């Protein structure tokens, strides 16, 4: 591992600050572009379906670039890069059902958070309106949620934060948990926080075991694509409501799926380790 082609950087509060500043700079750049477009072409591109996708992409890219230029290169003398190799087919047969099981479990746990009342009611209404305003174009929504978000978010939360913490000497399970909690916090609401933390732990575990960032990217995309299709065709972001079954049944299926495939993945199957 001493001659690894991947930079062995660490993640500290300075790295976190660098990511935040990079995200801010990228977001401001898109805002300036929008203002320029309004003045010169007299058109508000913020109303376009693709604008949010552009803004998110530029923000994430700038954050990653800042971390690369100001943290990774000065300390490792290497460019930021990750292992994106594939794994043997049997691994896919284990990690996708395990992810599906956690998706079912997280839906049940999330459903326990109130959506009514003086605090949660108004917060949930605001959150719902915000989600409805993201885009009316299903193609843009799928690209943004199932392709771009998994790539950028996995680079930051698993590839930079989790890996950087582990390189620093943090125990793997703690690094996975810390990265997942931060992943949940940035979603900005209690409903997505719970699911993001739970699903993030699975993503982090898979990254730790396979050493390939491609695996959590694919699982993240699988989760987001499934939820996008539920919204597009079922008008609900809930398996129980779309399938017209009990939430307890969803929980039971989730527990069985996750427990079985987690056991097989962790105990009965030796993953072919790649370089991290």
Does the pLDDT value for residue 232 go beyond 80?
Answer: yes
Give the pLDDT score at 135.
Answer: 64
Does the pLDDT value for residue 129 go beyond 90?
Answer: no
Average pLDDT of span 143-171: 97
Task: Count the Cβ atoms, other than its own, within 10 Å of residue 86.
Answer: 13
Q: How confident is residue 1, by pLDDT bands cut at 50, 70 and 90?
A: very low
Average pLDDT of span 119-131: 77
Give the pLDDT score at 191.
Answer: 87
Average pLDDT of span 73-82: 96
Give the pLDDT score at 229.
Answer: 93
Q: How confident is residue 170, by pLDDT bands cut at 50, 70 and 90?
A: very high
Average pLDDT of span 258-274: 79
Q: How confident is residue 3, by pLDDT bands cut at 50, 70 and 90?
A: low
> ∠ at Cα 156 (154, 162), nearest 5°?
85
Average pLDDT of span 123-148: 81
- Straight-line distance from the first to the last Cα atom of the chain, in angstroms, rounded to the nearest whole number: 8
pLDDT in tens, 34-64: 999 999 999 999 988 899 899 999 999 999 9
Backbone angles phi and psi of 148, in degrees to 5: -70, -50
Task: Count the Cβ atoms, other than its own, within 10 Å of residue 245.
Answer: 12
Does the pLDDT value for residue 173 go beyond 70?
Answer: yes
Residue 140 three-state SS: helix
Q: How confident is residue 124, by pLDDT bands cut at 50, 70 and 90?
A: confident
Average pLDDT of span 102-128: 87
> ∠ at Cα 14 (75, 179), nearest 5°?
100
Average pLDDT of span 260-269: 88
Give the pLDDT score at 267.
Answer: 85
Give the pLDDT score at 274.
Answer: 46
This model's pTM is above 0.75:
yes
């Amino acid at each position: 591992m001493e001659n690894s082609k991947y930079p062995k950087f660490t993640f500290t509060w300075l790295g976190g600050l660098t990511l935040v500043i990079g995200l801010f700079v990228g977001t401001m750049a898109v805002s300036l572009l929008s203002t320029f477009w309004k003045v010169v072409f007299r058109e508000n591109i913020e109303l376009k379906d693709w604008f949010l996708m552009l803004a998110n992409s530029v923000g994430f890219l700038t954050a990653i670039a800042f971390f690369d230029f100001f943290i990774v290169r000065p300390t490792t003398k290497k460019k930021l890069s990750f292992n994106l190799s594939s794994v043997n087919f049997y691994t896919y047969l284990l990690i996708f059902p395990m992810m599906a099981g956690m998706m079912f479990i997280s839906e049940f746990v999330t459903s326990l958070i109130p959506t009514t009342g003086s605090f949660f009611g108004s917060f949930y209404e605001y959150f719902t309106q915000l989600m409805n305003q993201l885009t009316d174009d299903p193609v843009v929504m799928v690209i943004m949620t199932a392709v771009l978000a998994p790539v950028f978010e996995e680079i930051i939360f698993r590839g930079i934060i989790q890996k950087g913490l582990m390189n620093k000497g943090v125990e793997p399970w703690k690094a996975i948990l810390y990265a997942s909690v931060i992943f949940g916090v940035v979603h900005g609401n209690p409903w997505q926080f719970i699911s993001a933390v739970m699903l993030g732990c699975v993503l982090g575990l898979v990254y730790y075991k396979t050493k390939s960032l491609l695996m959590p990217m694919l699982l993240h995309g699988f989760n987001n694509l499934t939820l996008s299709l539920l919204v597009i065709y079922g008008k609900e972001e809930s398996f129980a409501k779309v399938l017209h079954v009990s939430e307890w049944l969803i929980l039971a299926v989730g527990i069985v799926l996750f427990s079985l495939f987690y056991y097989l993945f962790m105990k009965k199957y030796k993953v072919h380790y790649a370089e991290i």
